[in-house]
Structure 1
Amino acid sequence: MPAYAPVTICAIATAPGRGGVGVIRISGRDLLPFAEAISAGKTPRPRYALYTDFVARDGSAIDNGLLLYFPGPNSFTGEDVIELQGHGGPVVMNMLLARCVELGARHAEPGEFTKRAFLNDKLDLAQAESVADLIDAASESAARGALKSLKGAFSGEIRALTDDLITLRMLVEATLDFPDEEIDFLEAADAAGKLSGLRGQLDKVLGTARQGAILREGMRVVLVGQPNVGKSSLMNALAGDEIAIVTDIAGTTRDTVREEIVIDGVPVHIIDTAGLRETTDVVERIGIERTWQAVEGADVALVLTDSREGVTAEVNAILERLPAGLPRIFVFNKIDLAEGVAGEGEENGHAVVRLSARTLEGVDILRKRLLSLIGYSASEGVFLARERHLDAIRRAALHLETAAEVWQQVELFAEELRLAQNALSEITGEFTPDDLLGVIFSRFCIGK
């Protein structure tokens, strides 16, 4: 019997609108009578497709198609699951859904099927989240990473770390009963060395998780600079389309323009902004204010300047207002007019790329430099990760860092190890507040 067995739920699992096939999913306890009622008394064989009419209370056919019956616990949710595969018209689907409610089911909440799978130990929390990530994947690389997480790659890394932490905790806890010998015992057992190895493993997992977070969330790139240095032209060049209006008139862009592109599988959110200058134009001033708001939320700033002018006093004034920790790349544009050569380098400690947004010379160099700046490298081993996963790993790393400082104070050492384990356990859901579960699953689509 599943650990979590509430009332029967139902939902349309396919996308809204017309389609060749529509699917309704039902999950609950003891659903064989439910299957027989909706299929005019036919008894389905577990995990075999039954071709049948789907009937109303009076026995008249609503639709016909395939009925699949998966008895729990060998199902996605761990409960009995029925899938009705009929014709994908919205009217037919809603009639079938109403019939399911008539038979005692209620409408499922967003993510409730996957939540039941988690609560019935069919998936851990990281795997459950990857279901939504696979659906929402913005690139092939993100989809592959989400599938790796769904299959347990990320969870396996976290569990291996947790198991090693538990082993070390057992060693430390065992010494608490022998206070006169605890330090000698820990030294003999190389507790400090084991802790160092754990910290190294955690750093590797954090690096891979960062890659996965970039794949999932994408990178926010803001274009800043004075008017008429080619920000809109560069946005069009990166996007491969005429997204922003380009003219020789300074101040053409008066508001932020956003576009999403993909560079080597990484989603990149490009934000073109109003040119930064002193102006009395009310509309342009509003656009400039929105530029600074966009800068605050960016991962990378591309600081554009005209190659013929270089870094002017006005550009330096812009640099002074950029957040101190914001990575930036100087883009010297219009090399076609300055008789320059495309390339990259460094000046005064900042990355520099020389290009022409008009001729596209050097644009590929910028694309690669963007990925390099955020530390991304394409790898088949990357699994998708979320910001909450990174936060949990960072907190675990801080606790292990503190543990390394206090390891000769055994009670404090043991407590820091416990807190590190709890932080990692939040990722897989072994130690997770209920309110966090509500937030996570409410963001799923209905029917998953």
Structure 2
Amino acid sequence: DLAQAEAIADLIDSGSAKAARSAMRSLQGEFSNKVNFLVDTLINLRLHIEAALDFPEEEIDFLSDNRITQKFENLKAEISQVFEKARQGSLLREGLNLVIVGQPNAGKSSLLNRLAGRDAAIVTHIPGTTRDVLKEYIQIDGMPLHILDTAGLRDSEDIVEQEGIKRTWNEIHQADLIALLIDDNAGFNQQDQLILDQLPSRLPVLRIHNKIDISQHAAGKSESEIYLSAKTGEGFTELEIELKKIIGYQEDAEGLIIARRRHLDALETASEEITAAENQLIKNQAGELVAEHLRVAQDALSTITGKFTADDLLGEIFSSFCIGK
């Protein structure tokens, strides 16, 4: 099916052993089987609801059956489990964009170099050395990260630096996670707060205090902030742990399935529509609206594998009930 066909490309493009294993599971049909199970469960719900609507003379009243409500709850829980496996698989496939921001000379390029394990960025004591966005691809325990080092955020009269700052903000708005780097020797100040206030509220922000080799602050995590030295490497184990925690990454890749953004969107749509259907059932006993929400949910799930037609549902209804005989 379509999901398996996509898994072939994902297997070829996989950037790690974990991603390759997850792609192979999808290719072998694990993801499709999970989706097909969800679709079959949805069909079962729909046929009960639509039978009650289409054949009222048969006195099939499933709308007031409490067992139907429990089926809704079970289905939502099952979709949630599949979504979490798919979300983890999506991380393996696509990685995450981590943008490092902060004032000039906070040590952003040093942090990038330490994470990359090489001198990818020029490091000097002169503020404003980084003018363009630098990108590095790394893995942390199999978790792919696209790390972006950016120009220091400040008011500048330099036209080239202004362009670099403009590009920084463009990258910020496309980020999945922000690392706000703070010079611990100077301390968190008004300019750091100004940068923090301007960051998009939807983005998780990890505050990282750098230069503890100068400030003499203990390395590690304090509350929700990380203290480290990009120069010596102190505190980087805690940084990696915190990054995986924020992202929700699980090191055990067993059972993960490679997924694409469209798969996650389809699962989210299905979950939302099922919740809407349940609300219509409980609050309004509106069978027609319940059936429509379930239809949209089923269509969303079917886009993952590329299967299902309206005739399939009709066949299920007549094969499950002795109607018209």
Q: Which residue number corresponds to residue 396 of structure 1?
A: 270
Q: Which residue number corresponds to residue 152 of structure 1?
A: 29
Contact 2:302/2:308, CA 8 A, preserved across alignment: yes
Q: Using the TM superposition, give the Cα deviation of residue 387 of structure 1 relative to its aligned residue in structure 2, in angstroms.
A: 0.2
Q: Using the TM superposition, give the Cα deviation of residue 188 of structure 1 relative to its aligned residue in structure 2, in angstroms.
A: 3.3
* Corresponding residue to 1:374 among 242, 247, 263: 247
Q: Which residue number corresponds to residue 316 of structure 2?
A: none
* Corresponding residue to 1:264 among 116, 141, 146: 141
- Gapped runs of 5+ residues in structure 1? 1-123, 433-448
Contact 1:223/1:302, CA 8 A, preserved across alignment: yes
Deviations 1:286-345 (A, max 9, x none): 101100011011100000011122221000110111111111100000111111111113
The alpha-carbon distance between structure 1 residues 179 and 196, as it changes in their structure 2 partners (threshold 3 A), is farther
- Gapped runs of 5+ residues in structure 2? 310-325
Query: Counterparts of 1:76-115 in structure 2 under 5 Å?
Result: none
SS in 1 for 2:207: strand
Contact 2:48/2:62, CA 8 A, preserved across alignment: no
* Corresponding residue to 2:174 among 272, 286, 297: 297
Q: Structure 2 CA distance, aligned partners of 1:181 and 1:237?
A: 70
Please identify runs of 4+ aligned residues in structure 1 that moved more than 2 A.
Answer: 179-182, 184-189
RMSD: 1.5
- Highest relative contact order (Cα 8 Å, sep 6+), 1 or 2? 2
More helix by percentage? 2
* Corresponding residue to 1:308 among 180, 185, 191: 185
SS in 2 for 1:220: strand
Q: Which residue number corresponds to residue 237 of structure 1?
A: 114
Q: Which residue number corresponds to residue 208 of structure 1?
A: 85
Q: Which residue number corresponds to residue 357 of structure 1?
A: 230
SS in 2 for 1:286: helix
Amino acid at match of 1:158: V
- Does the alignment pair 1:409 with 2:286? yes
Q: Structure 2 CA distance, aligned partners of 1:323 and 1:206?
A: 25
* Corresponding residue to 1:254 among 113, 126, 131: 131
Q: Using the TM superposition, give the Cα deviation of residue 189 of structure 1 relative to its aligned residue in structure 2, in angstroms.
A: 6.2
Rg larger in 1 or in 2? 1
Contact 1:221/1:299, CA 8 A, preserved across alignment: yes
Q: Structure 1 CA distance, aligned partners of 2:248 and 2:15?
A: 20
State the percentage of identical aligned residues: 49
Amino acid at match of 2:244: L
Contact 2:98/2:178, CA 8 A, preserved across alignment: yes
SS in 2 for 1:356: coil
Q: Which residue number corresponds to residue 95 of structure 1?
A: none
Contact 2:26/2:32, CA 8 A, preserved across alignment: yes
Q: Which residue number corresponds to residue 318 of structure 2?
A: none
The alpha-carbon distance between structure 1 residues 284 and 199, as it changes in their structure 2 partners (threshold 3 A), is same
* Corresponding residue to 1:197 among 71, 74, 77: 74
Contact 2:180/2:207, CA 8 A, preserved across alignment: yes
Contact 1:142/1:266, CA 8 A, preserved across alignment: no
* Corresponding residue to 1:178 among 39, 56, 60: 56
Q: Which residue number corresponds to residue 20 of structure 2?
A: 143
Amino acid at match of 2:40: D
Q: Structure 1 CA distance, aligned partners of 2:65 and 2:136?
A: 59
Q: Structure 2 CA distance, aligned partners of 1:181 and 1:394?
A: 34
Q: Using the TM superposition, give the Cα deviation of residue 363 of structure 1 relative to its aligned residue in structure 2, in angstroms.
A: 1.1
Q: Give the TM-score taking structure 2 as reference length.
A: 0.91
Q: Structure 2 CA distance, aligned partners of 1:221 and 1:265?
A: 16
Q: Structure 2 CA distance, aligned partners of 1:181 and 1:199?
A: 28
More strand by percentage? 1
Q: Structure 1 CA distance, aligned partners of 2:162 and 2:205?
A: 24
Contact 2:86/2:257, CA 8 A, preserved across alignment: yes
SS in 1 for 2:63: helix
Give the number of aligned pairs: 304
Contact 2:98/2:176, CA 8 A, preserved across alignment: yes
Q: Using the TM superposition, give the Cα deviation of residue 185 of structure 1 relative to its aligned residue in structure 2, in angstroms.
A: 3.3
- Does the alignment pair 1:385 with 2:259? yes
Q: Which residue number corresponds to residue 194 of structure 2?
A: 317
Q: Structure 1 CA distance, aligned partners of 2:17 and 2:258?
A: 12
Q: Structure 1 CA distance, aligned partners of 2:58 and 2:28?
A: 47
Q: Using the TM superposition, give the Cα deviation of residue 181 of structure 1 relative to its aligned residue in structure 2, in angstroms.
A: 4.9
Q: Which residue number corresponds to residue 35 of structure 1?
A: none
SS in 1 for 2:185: coil
The alpha-carbon distance between structure 1 residues 227 and 179, as it changes in their structure 2 partners (threshold 3 A), is farther
Q: Structure 1 CA distance, aligned partners of 2:17 and 2:121?
A: 26
Contact 2:63/2:287, CA 8 A, preserved across alignment: no
- Does the alignment pair 1:334 with 2:207? no
